[in-house]
Amino acid sequence: MYKRLLDNLNTAVLLFDSDLKLCYLNTAAEILLADSARQLLKISAEQLFKLSDAAFVSNLKHCRDAGESLIDYALELNRVGNQSVFVNVSLTPLEKNEIIVELLPIDNRLRISQEEQLHAQQNAACLMVRGLAHEIKNPLGGLRGAAQLLDSELSNAELKEYTQVIMEEADRLQGLVNRMLGSNELPNKQQLNIHEILERVRLLVQSEANENITIRCDYDPSIPEFLGDKNQLIQAVLNIVRNAVQAISDSGNVILKTRICRHATIERQHYKLALRCEIIDDGIGIAPDMLNKIFYPMVTGRVEGTGLGLSIAQTLISQHQGVIECHSEKGRTVFAIILPIIFQHNSI
Ligand SMILES: Nc1ncnc2c1ncn2[C@@H]1O[C@H](COP(=O)(O)OP(=O)(O)O)[C@@H](O)[C@H]1O
Ligand SMILES: [Mg+2]
């Protein structure tokens, strides 16, 4: 009866005897340790966890000898033949020098703090770029105005060519600065269907791309409408899908995939419903050293790139309380946009 109860717990529970040999583990513990009870029973604590977990073993001894309960936060456990896992460990002494051990994995928490750090860095970089863009914008307006005046005073066509060059280049820079500053418009949120946005982007990009590139869709029709700014979301998805197409040299596939997620935590906020929209391509992939930089403004791997596409997409998605994740290996790159589904009456 107790065994059934323990096996239905989500918490991993282990029982060590007075010789620090494992004498019981529940199903959650088997899953966490990625091994079966048959393999693990009777092995010693030292064997079960490799040397880097000396702290764990000495805590076990302390708990047994002093008869005191202990909680160990963020301990790294190397599972036998497997990657490590971060856990909070609670040790409780029982009669006969036995010890009950509860392991609570904390991957999630670590991931959240890493995300936060990345976010802070990105914010700092964005602020710098915006500051710089503002500084450029004003003198640029002056330069262009002066060139235009000069142009109207000149009668010599050859000299006019020079003023034309100044104006054209000033306009090009102006365009770049505007893109760096992003849109000033406030989001105009309305009820949206994610697939309407994806279909718009698909048509747009398909018409630009060569015919050997196929853009396919794999949609989850159960995703409900949510509150969002249509133009901003089209822009964000467009930037990512364009990159995917550019990563394919001759021929290849881009897949637009959507799925619903229940009970998602995004940036520490819990939502009952969220959607996951993946843009998957089989292009060249992203080099590992580029991977953690690509969301910064002005970082580009392409000769004609501006490095603004992803940083703009990131800003727009975070204005919708969402995040963008990226995984890449040769031949398969996935950008995932995760957006909370927020309804009109803000029922989170
Ligand atoms: N799907 C992808 N496959 C391979 N590389 C990509 C992909 N998406 C983005 N990248 C890399 O990230 C860089 C930054 O992208 P982005 O911010 O849109 O700027 P840009 O497209 O102007 O270079 C790209 O230059 C490219 O090197
Ligand atoms: Mg781009």
Half-sphere exposure of 50 (CA within 13 A, CB side): 12
Mutate to test the pocket of ligand 1, among 243, 246, 248, 300 (most ligand atoms within 8 A of CB): 243
Q: Whose CA is nearest to atom 7 of ligand 1?
A: 243
* Percent of the chain predicted with pLDDT > 90: 44
Vertex 300 angle, CA 303 and 228, to 5°: 125
Please give the residue that has the higher pLDDT: either 277 or 265.
277
Mutate to test the pocket of ligand 1, among 215, 300, 303 (most ligand atoms within 8 A of CB): 300
Angle between helices 107-153 and 157-181 (to 10 degrees): 160
- Closest by CA to 314, choosing from 246, 236, 243, 242, is 236
Distance from residue 98's CA to the centre of ligand 2 (Å): 59
At residue 136, what is the residue type? I
Tokens of residue 302, six digits? 């392409």
The end-to-end CA distance of the chain, in Å, is 39
Domain boundaries, the chain: 2-105, 110-181, 189-340
* pLDDT tens profile 24-37: 999 999 888 888 88
Q: Which ligand is nearest to the CA of 245?
A: 1
Give the number of the atom of ligand 1 that is nearest the alpha carbon of residue 333. 1
* pLDDT tens profile 37-46: 888 888 888 8
pLDDT at 347: 43
Q: Whose CA is nearest to atom 21 of ligand 1?
A: 305
Strand ranges inside the chain, DSSP E: 12-16, 22-25, 70-78, 84-93, 99-105, 189-192, 213-218, 226-229, 252-266, 269-281, 323-329, 332-340
* Percent of the chain predicted with pLDDT > 70: 89
Is 240 in contact with 310 (CB distance < 8 Å)? yes
pLDDT at 50: 59
- Closest by CA to 103, choosing from 65, 61, 71, 59, is 71
Is 275 in contact with 217 (CB distance < 8 Å)? no
Distance from residue 106's CA to the centre of ligand 1 (Å): 32
CATH number for the region 189-340 comes to 3.30.565.10
CB 275 near ligand 1, within 6 Å: no
The CATH topology of domain 2-105 is: Beta-Lactamase (3.30.450)
Give the number of the atom of ligand 1 that is nearest the alpha carbon of residue 312. 17
Q: Whose CA is nearest to atom 9 of ligand 1?
A: 243
At residue 253, what is the residue type? N
Domains 2-105 and 189-340 share a fold: no
Range among 7-21, 217-231, 282-296 with highest mean pLDDT value: 217-231
pLDDT at 185: 64
Distance from residue 180's CA to the centre of ligand 1 (Å): 16
* pLDDT tens profile 153-207: 999 999 999 999 999 999 988 887 887 776 666 678 899 999 999 999 999 999 8
Distance (Å) of CA 18 to CA 42, 102, 127: 12, 17, 59
Distance (Å) of CA 111 to CA 153, 268, 327: 62, 11, 15
Q: Which ligand is nearest to the CA of 300?
A: 1
Asked whether residue 100 carries a pLDDT value surpassing 90, the answer given is yes
Rg, Å, the chain Cα set: 28
